[in-house]
Structure 1
Amino acid sequence: MQKLKLAIVGCGFLGNIVADAWQRGLLPEYELVGCLSRSAESARTLADRHGCVACDSLEQLLTLQPDYVVEAASPGVVREIAEAVLRARSNLVLLSIGALADADFLARLEACARTHGRRVHLAAGAIGGFDVLRTTALMSAIDASITTQKGPASLRNTPLFDDGLLDAAEPREVFAGNAREAIALLPTRVNVAVATALATAGVEDTCVSINSVPGFKGDDHRIEVRGEEVHAVVDIYSRTSAIAGWSVVALLRNLVAPIAF
């Protein structure tokens, strides 16, 4: 059987997880054909390790005619490449779901995918339970929230950080608002909040709380959805961001599985 062509945009930690999984034989139905990164060196390193083409531009990547393009870069990159990928009749797998908090961009992306007969797949990233979240949202009007715990040091170089967090003895809430406000403030840090919102109540009506917890390592995301007939809680802790890369591998496997979850 002819293999599906796979390309990766973003050759950092997460992109390399996908490429390494392919190299290890965990994606046997796919052929890794090319990669692209803002860092030409990163793209060459991944390509040399895995025997694919290091591309200098999106146009070059799309000449390889990938069936699936995996984005493992940033919301900004999503806005730059997504519509072009779909117009080239490639399907798109997104990790930087925060880009979809922009309602106009989301609408354009949906229209583009329909026009060209392709799909945009949202990887679970550092959360999960999309099936039960979507099911709950269909049943009735709901309240949706996501509460995130992070270590103080992980908030460095963000508007939420101050030196007092490093000396605090108790947890402190450093952000409270909705998912749209969260992604506007932290464009690369709260993709999970936007993913939750898209699966449930929408970016305006999904409440987000971010908390700095002394001594905490990694991230804990607690999603709660409550309706008239159902109450669902999804709580996932991950010590590193590796879970996001592995969620792409799981999604790609599911897309070709004879029995899909």
Structure 2
Amino acid sequence: MKKLAIAGCGDLAEIVVDALLDGLLPEYQLIGTMSRSIHKAEYLAQKINDSQLSYTCSSCHSVDELLALQPDYVVESSSPEGMRELALPALKNGSSIVTLSIGAFADASFYDEVCKVARENHSRVYLASGAIGGFDVMRTASLMGPCTVTFDTEKSPNSLKGTPVYDESLQEQGRKVFEGNAKEAINLFPTKVNVSVAAALASVGTEKIKVSVTSTADYVGDKHRIEVNNDQVQAVIDVYSKTPQIAGWSVVNTLRNIVSPIVF
């Protein structure tokens, strides 16, 4: 039985907890939760403790307290900042990480340090696909030789509130609000474009992928289109999601793959 912990206890983490309670993750026991809001951590822990499962889950106030439980895997669903706080201590602890906050790896020095520490401690970081897919074809095409990758995303103006590009005119008239690379995108939108960094890491790197963000008035959900081209392959990954739930379910899928005899 694998011991599981969760860092970041919002809606996406609750999908993982509910999947566990529904029997979709029978190889795992959720032993600890942690969040910036202890009430959220307590809520998810209590869902386990109120169930018919034969073990208990602790709500924790800090990374150190969570890692003291010695989890085999930590699901991280907080933020790139939270991932930076968690990653190295967890990996040194021998705990592998399943993360949605892939934007943290736009920092090349942090990425390199995580790789080094993971190797030294025989632990791993699993990048959940979140709201996109196609990691396999992106990685394969990039191995075949030089390729180009574009990542275009369409969002509601409401999802851009609180970012430097937002103004009220976006509610009436859509327009492209960003063009650049994934490193520039995650710096401008720290929690909005983790998937562009994921696509970049799976292919040509954060400074070579071409990223655009378009705001569309009255739009619901997110649409991501990734195009990969080399001299032999043209691949298009086109994903629309009405809600963010697909990201939570991608964590469930990753956890299932970790322990499955057949890996997709």
**TM-score for the superposition, normalised by structure 2:** 0.96
Residue by residue, what CA displacement relative to the aligned partner does 1:62-102 show, whole Å, maximum 9, x if unpaired? 12111100101000011111000000001111100000000
Question: Within 5 Å, which residues of 2 pair with 1:93-242?
Answer: 93-168=98-173, 171-242=174-245
**CA apart distance, 1:214:** 2.2
Shift of 1:215: 2.3
Question: What residue in structure 1 maps to residue 19 of structure 2?
Answer: 21
Corresponding residue for residue 97 of structure 2: 92
Within-5 A mapping of 1:55-94: 55-94=60-99
> Runs in 1 of length 4+ with deviation above 6 angstroms?
none
Task: Extract unaligned runs of 5+ from structure 2.
Answer: 50-56
Match of 1:48 in 2: 46
Cα offset, 1:213, TM superposition = 1.4
Residue 93 of structure 1 aligns to a residue in which SS?
Answer: strand
Corresponding residue number in structure 1 for 2:54: none
Count of aligned pairs: 257
Q: Secondary structure at the match of 2:166?
A: coil
Aligned partner of residue 115 in structure 2, secondary structure? helix
CA–CA separation in structure 1 for the residues paired with 2:169 and 2:14: 35
- Is 1:172–1:212's contact at 8 Å kept on the other side of the alignment? yes
- On the 8 A contact 1:150/1:219 being kept in 2, the answer is yes
Please give the TM-score of this superposition, normalised by the length of structure 1: 0.97
State the distance in 2 between where 1:8 and 1:151 align: 29
Native 8 Å contact 1:150 1:217 kept in 2: yes
Residue 56 of structure 1, CA deviation: 1.6
Q: C-alpha distance in 1, partners of 2:64/2:168?
A: 44
Residue from 239, 249, 252 that aligns with 1:246: 249
Which residue of structure 2 lines up, in the alignment, with residue 36 of structure 1? 34
Q: CA–CA distance in 1 between the matches of 2:158 and 2:99?
A: 27
Contact 1:11 1:42 in 2 (8 A): yes
Aligned-partner SS, 1:117: coil
CA contact (8 A) 2:171 2:218 kept: no
Q: Distance in 2 between matches of 1:80 and 1:214?
A: 36
Q: Mean Cα displacement is larger for which, 150-159 or 16-25?
A: 150-159
Q: Which residue in the other structure is 1:11 paired with?
A: 9
User: Does the 8 Å contact 1:140/1:229 carry over to 2?
Assistant: no
SS of the counterpart of 1:225?
strand
What amino acid sits opposite 1:254 in the alignment? N
Q: Offset of 1:172 from its aligned partner? A: 1.0
In structure 1, distance between residues paired with 2:223 and 2:93: 38
Cα offsets for 1:146-199 (capped at 9, x unmatched): 00011222211111111111111xx41110000000000011110011001001
Q: CA RMSD for the aligned pairs?
A: 0.8
Question: What is the distance in 2 between the residues matched to 1:67 and 1:87?
Answer: 12
Q: d(CA) in 2 for partners of 1:164 and 1:59?
A: 45
Distance 2:244 2:263 in 1: 25
Which blocks of at least 5 consecutive residues in structure 1 are unaligned?
A: none
Q: Deviations over 1:188-235 (max 9, x none)?
A: 110011001001110000010000112211000000011111111000
Question: In structure 1, what is the Cα distance between the partners aligned to 2:158 and 2:113?
Answer: 37
